[in-house]
Copies of this chain bind each other. A is one copy, B any other.
Amino acid sequence: MPVTTIAWDDGMIRMIDQTRLPGQLIYLEIRDIPTLAEAIRSLRVRGAPAIGVAAAFGLLLAAEQSTATRPEAFFDELQETAELLRNTRPTAVNLGWALDHMLESVRAARAQGVTAMRTALRQKAMALYKNDQTVNRKLAEYGASLIPDPAEIITHCNTGALATVDYGTALGAVFTAHAQGKKVHVWVDETRPLLQGARLNMWELQHEGIPATLICDNTAAFVMARREISLCIVGADRIAANGDTANKIGTYALALAAKHHGVPFYIAAPCSTIDPAAASGEDIPVEERGADEIVNGFGRRTAPEGARVYAPAFDITPNELITAIITEKGVHTPPFTSSLPSGQKTLD
Contacts and interface: CB of A to CB of B under 8 A. Distances in A.
Contacts of A254: 218
Given A297-B298, A316-B225, A218 B307 contact: no
A218 B256 contact: no
A275 to B, nearest CB: 19
B23 A221 contact: no
A202 B203 CA distance: 33
Given A298-B299, A300-B298, A217 B216 contact: yes
B222 A312 contact: yes
A306 interface: yes
Contact of A307 (B206, B294, B309): B206
A93 to B, nearest CB: 19
A123 interface: no
A220 to B, nearest CB: 7
Given A190-B294, A214-B291, A219-B249, 10 more contacts: A23-B301, A190-B192, A195-B303, A202-B307, A203-B304, A218-B218, A220-B253, A222-B253, A256-B256, A256-B260
Interface of A: 22-23, 187, 189-193, 195, 198-199, 202-203, 206, 211-223, 225, 249-250, 252-254, 256-257, 259-260, 291, 294-295, 297-304, 306-312, 315-316
